[in-house]
Amino acid sequence: MNKEKQSAIHIENLTKHYRSRKSAERKEALKGISLDIPKGCIFGLLGPNGAGKSTLINILAGLTVKTSGTVCINGIEQDKDPRATRFELGVVPQEVVLDPFFNIRETLEYHAGYYGIPKAKRRTDEILEALHLTDKAGVNSRRLSGGMKRRVLIAKALVHNPPILILDEPTAGVDVELRTQLWDYVQELNRRGTTILLTTHYLEEAERLCDYIAIINHGQIIANDKTSALKQTLDQKQLTIKFTEPQKKVPAFLKTMDFVQGDSQTFTIRYKRSKTSVDALLQKIHGSKLKISDISTHEPDLEDIFRHLVQKRHA
């Protein structure tokens, strides 16, 4: 079976060029991106501001015309049937844009009508309940809080029951309680088979939620793997020791190691896990005969990986 058929989203050699109005200079927003997003997964697309995330999402949504390359949505080639590909997607944009003249229920009903969904098959009440909007259904969008407006954007994206949901910074500016509710619902959608493409600056969210993560920088994919595998790419760990007594000088066993001193009692050893182990370090600490009150370890998280890869690309 072709990758186009196996993937929820298949992107091959995708480019997007802009020309400056002032200088006519060409800017490459996307530089030959290739990406496959498996069906049924939660896929994180991460990158610094200006990396090309929004350009890529706008091309998928049919809002921006690509310069070259191939885009397939659920096995449908975008160039051949752009209208059909839009039905496969529900897109939640970064910008909060709602019609100020409609209440929430009317917004969802009209949006379902845009997709040609008969009234008998609309899921308005179900969606309102799932997103905790039932008691606000008759409220005009102008009177909603920022968090409530975010919920309405997600509700709009779901009215035609799309198999793929794109969330572009869905929890920006949202309080913790609402963020938790949104993610609970997104995970429930995923369990039912919806493929989720997520962009976020909250890296701890991506680390917790995503099965796969791709990192984009300067219009290029610089990493793409399962989240668990990506976290193993940085061969670095830390061991922090707190002695029971202040140390007047650096303990001898630390002098041959890469370490950072916190206060007179606390030292953090940085080491490569491919070359040494915690056991070996603990043996050296034990051999020093110094009394220790606490030991803790730190493994690289997604934020460490992200920062390392982006800085490496700039170097």
**Cβ neighbours of residue 19 under 8 Å, at least 6 residues apart?**
25, 26, 27
Classify burial at 71, counting beta carbons within 10 Å of its beta carbon; exposed 0-12, middle 13-18, buried 19 or more: buried
According to the model, what pLDDT value does residue 312 have? Answer: 66
pLDDT digits (tens, 9 = 90+) for 239-283: 888 989 888 888 888 888 888 888 888 988 888 877 787 888 888
43 has pLDDT over 90: yes
Q: What percentage of the chain carries pLDDT values higher than 70?
A: 96
pLDDT for position 48 = 87
Domains for the chain: give ranges and CATH numbers: 237-299 (3.30.70)
Mean pLDDT, residues 210-238: 87
Cα pseudo-dihedral 54, 57, 61, 64, rounded to 10: 50
Query: Among 203, 144, 208, which Cα is nearest to 178's?
Result: 144
Confidence grade of residue 287 (pLDDT, cut at 50, 70, 90): confident
User: Are the C-beta atoms of 203 and 46 separated by less than 8 Å?
Assistant: yes
